[in-house]
Structure formats: structure tokens, C-alpha cells
Amino acid sequence: MSADPTKLNVGKTIRLKSIGMCIARWPQSDRVFVGCSDFNVVEINLTNENPEPVAFEGDGHQSYVTGAAIARSELVTGSYDGQLIWWDPEQRQPKRKITAHSSWIRGVVASPDGKLIASVADDMLCKVWDAESGNLIHTLNDHKPMTPHHFPSMLYAAAFSSNGQWMATGDRVGHIAIHEVSSGKKLAELEAPLMYTWDPKQRRHSIGGIRSLSFSHNDRHLAVGGIGTIGNIDHLDGPSRVEIFDWQTQQRVHEIADASFKGLVEHIAYPRTGHWFVFAGGDNGGFVSFFDANTGKMIHQSKMPMHVHAFVLNEAEDTLYAAGHDQFVVVSFKAVAPAEPAT
């Protein structure tokens, strides 16, 4: 059976003690790791009859855990404390801790082969690390530290291409940079300014930004997720927004502004098949949405029981594991097997 996004089923839900900020999954398994707002990293083993979050031990993070990735045989997490920690997932103990950034880490991603780790933070730097040694390979610096209105900016998102050759980063004001991973050379830049809202009157405050990035299965397109123009700066009342670029020609291919599901697009992913892409996020509530990769048209979408901060797909790409406000949820979208013919 193949995936069928129209057969969406929100299944097992597990309570978290705090907000699930990021998620990683051990390959070919039902072991999921969630970084949380209570500074903990927890494991959820779905093979257990009654799975419960089990916290990692040892000298861990001292603030929100906002990035998680599997790098070969280890779990790597990042936090607002500026630290990267390499964990032994079997012992649930730290193996290496480094001071990676001078400000809040917003995301951690691994290259497709697991040999590299990239971290992005509010020092406006993307740093690429050797996953085995922890040595710094590149520091990518293409994002301005201040917004056009002279307030500190933020670097939210990063993504490797599926072939591992390129890396994209996106910031608060809608600026995207694409670099060659091997050399660190910048290859292209894109702009998504509608994902940044500035209120010059009531609050003198900005909101929004690029919160998620994903290359398509063939690496031709780059999906950029965030939120559209916000009317009330104190709330996430703007439409969820995705823009798709042919990044090499710097042409915008699709624009999706969904006022029926408002809020931030916190995570976005393409499957290997390339027929669709999926994104999730929320405001006070949450949503998950599937769109056709060729036409940009909606296939199916649904409410989620919480604001989704991150998700990960399984290998069959018919199930996603989502972490968010106080909850972890398993969402399946498996095609229904045809009925056996009557005999």
C-alpha cells in the first residue's frame, strides 16, 4: 500500500509535560526523541504497550531544546543555551557538549548521509559541523543582524538538499540564502517579504519570519514556510503561508496563503515520491496540510490537537510523528488495501 493523504487519521496521542519544540526519529524504528521547553530531551518508544516519555539524564541543556537530528549513531540537540549536545541514545546520556553559538539556537539539521550537522541561531550564523568529531567545518554568514526597522533579527530555519550538496537558511525578514555545502560558497538568494510583518504604530514590533525550509525530492524546488501578513501583531492571526521557488532561476513557482488554517508553518517536508508535500504548524490550535507538488493545489488538510512545532515522516512516508504544545501525536495516511474479491 502507498500513502494517501486523503485518508488522514490522527491516532495515538501522548501527553508531554511541556511544549515539544523539535523531534527526531531513530531510522527504521518506532523510537522518537523530542526536545522540550522544560529543557529536557525525552524518548518515546511506540513499541511499548503504554508508551510514556522517558527523559534523558546527565548534564543536559539549560534552556528550551529547539533542534534535534540523528547523526549516524548519535542524537544531536541544540538549545537556547547556545549549546550542541551529542547524546548516546541507548544510554540516554550526553557524550559531547560544545558551545556552538553566542545566542539562541533555533534549529539543528543533519545531512542526508548523517556526516554533517548544521545549526542556526540568533547570532545570525549557520554553522556546519563534522558529526563524528564535532569540529567546525563552515560558518555561513549571509543574514543581517538587524531588521530594516533596527530591531534584532532571528535566524530560524535550515535545510540540506536531498543530495547533500546544498544548504538553505531563512531568517525573520524573509531572506533565504543557498550555499554549496562542500565549499561554503553562496549560490543564490531569495526573498519572501510577505512572511514578515512590522507594526509601526501600536506595538513597534515585528512578527513572522521564515520558520521552515525543505528542498523537493529532485532538489529543483525549495519550499519556504511561515505566516502571511498579520493584522493583530499580538496574535498569530495571519494566514499560514508557503512559497515554492525554483531556487536556481530564483523564480517563485507557487504561493499558498491559507486563511482557513491560520498561524505559522513550523515544519515542511517533501517525500521521495515528489507527488505532494506536507506542512504543519498553528496559532492557538494546529493543522496539517497536504498539497500537490506539481500544481500547488490542496489535497487534504485537517486540524491537529495542538500547535505543531515539528514533525518527522517514517520511511514509508505514510505516517508522521508530530510534537507540539504539551502533546505528541502519530498521524497516519495509509491507502486502504483493496477488498478481496468474493469467491
Per-domain boundaries in the chain: 5-22+99-332
Domain 5-22+99-332 CATH class label: mainly beta
The mean per-residue pLDDT over the stretch 133-158 comes to 94
| Confidence grade of residue 200 (pLDDT, cut at 50, 70, 90) | low
Residue recorded with cell 534552556: 63
Note the pLDDT of residue 335: 81
Cα gap 99→183, rounded to integer Å: 23
Of the candidates 238, 197, 199, 100, the one whose C-alpha atom is nearest the C-alpha of residue 158 is 100
233-242, 256-265, 266-275: which range is least confident on average? 233-242
Cα gap 157→143, rounded to integer Å: 12
Note the pLDDT of residue 236: 72
User: What average pLDDT does the structure give for the chain?
Assistant: 93
β-strand partners of 55: 42
Cα gap 236→153, rounded to integer Å: 18
Note the pLDDT of residue 343: 57
C-alpha cell at 46: 511506540
* pLDDT tens-digit series, residues 77-105: 999 999 999 999 999 999 999 999 999 99
The mean per-residue pLDDT over the stretch 57-66 comes to 98
Note the pLDDT of residue 216: 97
Note the pLDDT of residue 57: 97
